[in-house]
A and B are shown apart, each in its own frame.
Chain A
Amino acid sequence: AQSVTQLDSHVSVSEGTPVLLRCNYSSSYSPSLFWYVQHPNKGLQLLLKYTSAATLVKGINGFEAEFKKSETSFHLTKPSAHMSDAAEYFCVVSDGYSSASKIIFGSGTRLSIRP
């Protein structure tokens, strides 16, 4: 069975400091992993995805994530936070098979940026 756990429901950082949003997953197969961002009153937008190619994945807006199989983690990072990064972030796991029902969303992490 698949699962995904976002370890922090809320993260607050100062502008210009690094961002770390943590995500752990469980999957019986080689997973595909995604990070989505949702700005206030908007839909979800894909930040980046891992699909068994390079373990370090670069996404939009300076975000990146590293797939660590030994730690079953896919943490999202950014070297320097910007005010516009304030949003909700969702980690998503899929087992890579055809059943769309096996796409699991995490509970989300709300990122706040302090001036």
Chain B
Amino acid sequence: DAGVIQSPRHEVTEMGQEVTLRCKPISGHDYLFWYRQTMMRGLELLIYFNNNVPIDDSGMPEDRFSAKMPNASFSTLKIQPSEPRDSAVYFCASSSRPGQAGNEQFFGPGTRLTVL
């Protein structure tokens, strides 16, 4: 398996533009997570899905952020409109029954977003 795939790896955009980040989880994993990592705030859980259904989006910063999972092999995180403070590395991770019996999360390589 190729692992968790994220695209693009780097994104530079201007304030006000829409940004869409993409993730393909590991086949067979039924949980998908979106995280944001910054120097100031560390690693933050934004939202997670179970069987394509959003379960907890309490970490989503504001209405400018939205996430979808139309099928088991694809998810998007959209920021509209983007702001400079959204600059961060965004990670996608997938898992099978995370936390139970030590099932770990598998992380993608991340998307480094820079909003000018």
Contacts and interface: CB of A to CB of B under 8 A. Distances in A.
A98 B95 CA distance: 12
B108 A49 contact: no
B101 A98 contact: no
Interface stretch (A17-25, A39-47, A70-78): A39-47
Interface string B49-66: 010000110100000000
A67 to B, nearest CB: 12
Interface in A71-115: 90, 94-103, 105, 107-108
Contacts of B34: none
Contact of A32 (B50, B55, B102): B102
B99 interface: yes
A29 to B, nearest CB: 10
Interface in B65-116: 91, 93, 95, 97-102, 104-110, 112
Contacts, number: 66
Q: How large is the interface on B (under 10, 10 to 19, 20 to 34, 35 or more residues)?
A: 20 to 34
Nearest to A105: B43
Contacts of B28: none
Given A43-B107, A49-B104, A100-B55, A105 B97 contact: no
A63 interface: no
Contacts of B48: 100-101
A102 B43 contact: no
Contacts of B104: 34, 46, 49
A100 B31 contact: yes
Interface of A: 32, 34, 36, 41-46, 49-51, 90, 94-103, 105, 107-108
18 contacts: A34-B104, A42-B110, A43-B107, A43-B109, A43-B110, A46-B104, A51-B101, A90-B43, A94-B99, A95-B99, A96-B99, A99-B99, A100-B99, A101-B45, A101-B55, A102-B99, A105-B42, A108-B42
